[in-house]
Amino acid sequence: MPKSKICIRKMCFSVETVKRLSLYLRDLRKLAKKKIELISSNKITQLLNISPAQFRKDLSYFGEFGKRGVGYEVKKLIKKLEEILGINKEWRIAVVGVGRLGSALLRFEGFSKFNIKIKTAFDISKKKVGKVINGIKIEDVRNLERVIKKEKIKLSLICTPPQVAQDITNRLVRAGIRGILNFAPVALKAPNNVFISNVDMACELERLIFLLNNER
Amino acid sequence: MPKSKICIRKMCFSVETVKRLSLYLRDLRKLAKKKIELISSNKITQLLNISPAQFRKDLSYFGEFGKRGVGYEVKKLIKKLEEILGINKEWRIAVVGVGRLGSALLRFEGFSKFNIKIKTAFDISKKKVGKVINGIKIEDVRNLERVIKKEKIKLSLICTPPQVAQDITNRLVRAGIRGILNFAPVALKAPNNVFISNVDMACELERLIFLLNNER
DNA sequence: TACACTTTGTGAAAATAGGAACAAATGCCA
DNA sequence: TGGCATTTGTTCCTATTTTCACAAAGTGTA
C-alpha cells in the first residue's frame, strides 16, 4: 500500500506533516498563554523532539510565516495554523456507541478548543436512547442515516464494539460521512474518499511491551 | 530527530513494523476463531490495506514462520507473534488519573487479551481514593512512588489533566517505570531508556478535519 | 554605512521505508 | 517421477521522508 500523500499548491507532503502541525499549534497556544510573542524554530522544537528544519519545512508547504533573523510571531502563526488545519470554523460531529468510552467523550470538554461540537450521539440500547449527556441527546441507532443526513454531519467517532464497527461504517458512509475516527480495534474498510483514522490503544500498548521486552 | 529504530538479530526495523505486528496478530486471532488453520500473506493483508511483501518482510526480521508454497499456520504464527511482542507473559500496569477516561480504562475488559492486568490506580481526589473499580483499588497519588516500587510495576497509563502530566511522568520515572502510554494532550519529556507512546485524539481529529478541508 | 549575528526558507544529499520480482521450497496431480 | 501451481524469504530498486547546509533577509551596533 502506498503511503497516503497530500498535494496542494503544487507540493506534496505526508499526513505526518499534518499531525506535526497539530503539535506545533498546541505548543504555540501554550506559549501564547505565557505571553510569549516571538519564537524561533529552534526553541519551539526543543520541547517536541522534532528538528527545527522539519518545523520550517512543514510550514513551507503552506507559505512563509516567519521573518528571517527574527522568528515567528506566536499569535499570527496560531491563526495561520488554525486556518491551514481548518479549525477556524465549527465542525459538527456524531458519536456512535455510548458505552464507557463514548460517554467519556460526550463529556469531554477539550473538543471546543478545536471548534468541534458533538451534535448527536447514537446507541442501540433502549436504556440509553433518549437520555441527554452533557446537552447531547442520545438517538436510536436505527435513525442514524436520517439524523446524519438531516444535520449534514460530515465527521463521526466510532466507539462501538468491534463486531459492529464495519456495519456502522457502511451506514455512516451511505449517510454522507466523510471522516471517521475509529476507536474500535478493527481495520475498517471504506471508499477512498472517506478518511479513516484509528486510535488504537492495543497497538500502542503492545508496542511498549515489545520495547521493554527487547531491550539490549 | 531521527526516526527511532530497533535493532535485534543484527537487523534494524522501525516501530511501524511493531505496530503492524499487532495488527497481524489481531487478524490472526479472528481467523483462529473462524477455525481457519492456514493463511497466505496475500489473504491476510487484503483486509488490512498492507502489501503482502510488507507482511513477509515484517516477519522476516524475527525468523521464518511460513512454509513456501503453503502459507502460515494460523495458530503457530499467533504463538510466535505473542512471543515476539512479549505478551506471552503477564504485564502489570498502573493507571494514573481516574477521571472519565481513566475509569473507562479501569473497566475495560480488552486488556486481558494482551496479558495486561491493571494492578493499581492513582488519583488525587479524596472522593475517589479508597474506592474500588472493577476490582482495582484507587490509591492516593501521594503514594505513587511507594506502590509502584513495591509492586515492581514497569508500565503506566497517564490519564491526568495535561498540566500535571509531566510531573507525574517524572515521579513515575523515579519510581522505576519504563514505559508510558500517555493520553494527556502534551509532549512528555523522559530519559531515553523510558519509552513513551501517545494516544492523541486531538491530532487525529485535526488531521481528519484538515483532509476534509483540503479536498481536491 | 559596514559588519557581525540571527534565523528563515529551500534545494540537494542522506537516510529510511516500501514494493516488485524472483529464486527456493513445497504441494498436487497425472 | 516430472511438471505445474503456489507461496515464502530476500535482494535490489524506487519512492518518500528527513536532515544538512547555505543563500537570503532581517536586526543591532559602532
pLDDT by position in tens, chain A (length 216): 546 788 776 678 899 999 999 999 999 999 999 999 999 999 999 989 999 999 999 999 999 999 999 999 999 999 999 999 999 999 999 999 999 999 999 999 888 888 999 999 999 999 999 999 999 999 999 999 999 999 999 999 999 999 999 999 999 999 999 999 999 999 999 998 899 999 999 899 999 999 999 875
User: Rounded to whole angstroms, how far apart are CA atoms B199 and B185?
Assistant: 8
Paired with B122 in beta bridges are B96, B139
User: Rounded to whole angstroms, how far apart are CA atoms A139 and A147?
Assistant: 9
> Among A26, A163, A207, which would you mutate to test the B interface (most chain B Cβ atoms within 10 Å of its Cβ)?
A207
Residue B199: its chain A contacts at CB < 8 A? 199, 201, 204
Q: Does A179 contact B110 at a Cβ distance shorter than 8 Å?
A: no
- Using C1' positions and the CA of B52, the closest nucleotide is C19
Q: Within 7 Å: CB of B71 and strand D? A: yes
The answer to whether A174 touches A158, Cβ cutoff 8 Å, is: no
Report the Cα–Cα distance between both ends of chain B, in Å, rounded.
31
Q: Name all domains of chain A by residue range, CATH numbers in brackets.
A: 5-84 (1.10.10.10), 91-203 (3.40.50.720)
Give the cell for residue B147.
Answer: 506502590
Hey, how many other C-beta atoms are within 10 angstroms of the C-beta on B37? 13
Residues 60-79 of A with CB under 7 A from strand D: 67-70
One-letter amino acid of A205: L
Q: Count Cβ atoms within 10 A of the Cβ of residue B184 and give its class: 0-12 exposed, 13-18 middle, 19 or more buried.
A: buried
Paired with B123 in beta bridges are B140
At B44-78, the pLDDT tens digits run 999 899 999 999 999 999 999 999 999 999 999 99
How many Å apart are B26 CA and D5 C1'?
Answer: 30
- Please, which residues have CB within 8 angstroms of residue A99's CB and are 6 or more apart in sequence? A159, A160, A161
Chain A CB within 8 Å of residue B107 CB: yes
Q: Give the bases of strand D that a protein CB approaches within 7 Å.
A: 5-11, 15-21, 24-27
User: Rounded to whole angstroms, how far apart are CA atoms B121 and B50?
Assistant: 37
Q: Report CA-CA distances (Å) from B7 to A102, A103, A122, B174.
A: 39, 41, 45, 27
User: Rounded to whole angstroms, how far apart are CA atoms A145 and A164?
Assistant: 16
Interface of A with B in 133-162 (CB under 8 A): 154-155
Q: Within 7 Å: CB of B42 and strand D? A: yes
Name the residue among A200, A192, A142, A198 with its Cα closest to residue A171: A142
Chain B CB within 8 Å of residue A53 CB: no
Q: Within 7 Å: CB of A215 and strand C? A: no
